[in-house]
Amino acid sequence: MEYVNPLTGFRVDGRRPNEMRQLKAEVGVVARADGSALFEMGNTRVIAAVYGPREIQNKGQQVNNKEALVRCEYRMAEFSTGDRRRKPKGDRRSTEISLVIRQTMEASILTDLMPRSQIDIFVQVLQADGGTRSACINAATLALADAGIPMRDIVTSCSAGYLCSTPLLDLNYVEDSAGGPDVTVGILAKMDKVTLLQMDAKLPMDTFESVMGLAIEGCKAIATYIREVLLENTKRLEYQRG
């Protein structure tokens, strides 16, 4: 199947190879959470809720006395994919993604400012169309910023792949299930540091560099957008408050 049209250069959904899907973010969607966000990358919609810093519920989980405990839970809604999912939470993929998101966010949160407390991040995928991992990380960043948890930097994430000899940015579900490599990169936007790097399938080294470079550019674009959204939100709250 041709994922990139050789004549026009368009992908299956009409994008160019280095074009991202449309982004949309909304902050403060869950009323009871300390911070929450809804993030959309094309058809992938993800909602994140952050609770914290609050007292540690389970003393056994506390490893380090001097730092906050960051917990993350990723789940997909049963209706998020084409076929109704049977086990949205306990399966291996969800556990792995929860761990990945937790490690990514932990790299950015200034945990030593909040010792003996825990921060819970709950991410739920409402619509899955490829790139759910990235959307979850972006949503979690927004939610953490909304909750007022100090962070080193904005963490953004994007995926890129390599199909039909072209690096493609921001794969959707069709392209993702094509069997080609899928590189997911998460960076600290301003500090230019990589906190997450995952890939499945195989890639030769130089191609990998170009694909990863493309993904990092996508991350930076998302970071600009997220920054705008947060700034807008802060300004709005401030002028409404009076």
By the criterion CB under 8 A, which residues form the site for another protein? Answer: 28, 31, 34-35, 53-55, 65, 110, 113-117, 145-154, 188-191, 227, 230-231, 233-242
- The strand pairing partners of 51, in sequence order, are 120
Please give the Cα distance from 158 to 213 (Å, whole number): 11
Query: Which residue lies nearer to another protein by CB, 40 or 67?
Result: 67
For 82-104, letters b (16+ CB in 10 Å) and e give: eeebeebeeeeebeebbebbbeb
State in Å, rounded, how far the first CA of the chain is from the last one: 57
Closest separation in Å from C-beta 28 to another protein = 6
Query: Which residue lies nearer to another protein by CB, 12 or 115?
Result: 115
Please give the Cα distance from 199 to 181 (Å, whole number): 7
Closest separation in Å from C-beta 120 to another protein = 12
Q: DSSP assignment, residue 111?
A: G
Closest separation in Å from C-beta 121 to another protein = 15
* Residue keyed to tokens 């408050």: 241
Cβ contact 88:94 at 8 Å = yes
Query: Which residue lies nearer to another protein by CB, 4 or 68?
Result: 68
* Residue keyed to tokens 């519920």: 57
Closest separation in Å from C-beta 127 to another protein = 22
Closest separation in Å from C-beta 72 to another protein = 18
Query: Which residue lies nearer to another protein by CB, 114 or 160?
Result: 114
Closest separation in Å from C-beta 191 to another protein = 7
Query: Which residue lies nearer to another protein by CB, 92 or 241?
Result: 241
HSE-CB for 90 with a 13 A CA cutoff: 2
Query: Which residue lies nearer to another protein by CB, 201 or 237?
Result: 237
Cβ contact 174:163 at 8 Å = no
